[in-house]
Amino acid sequence: MLLFIHGTIVHAAATEKPELEASILTSLASISGYLATFCFTVQYLPQAYLNHKRKSVKGFSTTGILLKLVGASYLGVNSFLMGEALSVGLYGTLNILQHSVFMIQFTMFTGRKLFLFCLLIPLVPLVTGYMYPNTIPYTNLIKPVSQIVSHIPQIIVTWEARSTEGVSLISQHLNLLGGICGVFMYSVFTPKSFFTRLVYWNSLLQALSIYFLAVYFDGWGRLRNSFVTLFEKSPDPTTSPPNIEEQQEMEKAMNQTPSTGVTTSNIITATSGSTSSTLRNTSHQQGALDIEITSITNNIE
């Protein structure tokens, strides 16, 4: 009887354990999905700040972001229409907002107002999705294709500039983390479309490619210090230490002055002596003139 009870207990624990593990795994996958959404939500904030700080988009591909806006528009709209996971829909929608901010920055810093018309791009998948819902499985291809293709212009811009200074590496850190979380989420859940999973893999690979270029062109220091340099404050001239090179030049100049034999005290002494000599000569000349005048006066008398 005890063995039977013990066996029953063991059997119950054995059946509950996989269910508990599955529940924990499902919860972790859900959390990872929302963490990925958070990363992608704030992903481009450091890049937008960098553009604003520099008052320039040099080194940051406008063509690449335009393609990303197209892809994000179709992902955001189609995911809601197809009933994808909420995190996927939020990812697409928030990407639309971020890329729209870039369109405004492109207009401000390049002076090309054409980018403002690009803010209407999200209306295209919205209209076609409602009017022709049968096209959604096909238009789902637009996001992964645009996501992959959009990285090529950025690679070209970076390669031509021979630097990643125009790209925020903090944005790439978030891109990498979001990609990892998204890949884990869909290793547990089954996506509605294979291309949805591909989007997360693509984000991960894009971040790694920028890391490679950063190390190749700018060295390991650029990657190592990427968390610090973006928020680094400009040095305060009133509190910053003196320039060492300038200080050394001043000391060198001061050391060279005595070697010439001319000092400030010598200059003052020489000037004083010259002035005294001039005054004495003037005094002697005046005395001689007085004697001469007196002699002439006596002769007249």
Closest by CA position to 129, among listed 175, 91, 200, 76: 76
Q: Would residue 30 count as lying in a domain?
A: yes
Question: pLDDT higher for 233 or 159?
Answer: 159
Q: How many CA atoms lie within 13 A of 19 on its CB side?
A: 5
Name residue, tokens 């790694």. Answer: 208
Closest by CA position to 212, among listed 177, 153, 164: 164
Q: Would residue 259 count as lying in a domain?
A: no
Q: With bands split at pLDDT 50, 70 and 90, how would you rate the model's confidence at 94?
A: confident
Question: pLDDT higher for 248 or 39?
Answer: 39
pLDDT confidence of residue 242: 47
Summary mean pLDDT of the chain: 77
Q: Would residue 257 count as lying in a domain?
A: no
* % residues pLDDT > 70 (the chain): 67
Number of domains in the chain: 1
Q: Would residue 58 count as lying in a domain?
A: yes
Q: What does the alpha-carbon distance between residue 288 and residue 301 come to, in Å, rounded to a whole number?
A: 20
Burial class of 91 by CB neighbour count within 10 A (0 to 12, 13 to 18, 19+): buried
Name residue, tokens 């197209």. Answer: 70
- What are 100's two structure tokens? 């729209």
pLDDT confidence of residue 141: 85
Model pTM score: 0.65
Burial class of 109 by CB neighbour count within 10 A (0 to 12, 13 to 18, 19+): middle
Which structural domain range is residue 77 located in? 9-231
pLDDT score of 267 more than 60: no
Q: With bands split at pLDDT 50, 70 and 90, how would you rate the model's confidence at 284?
A: low
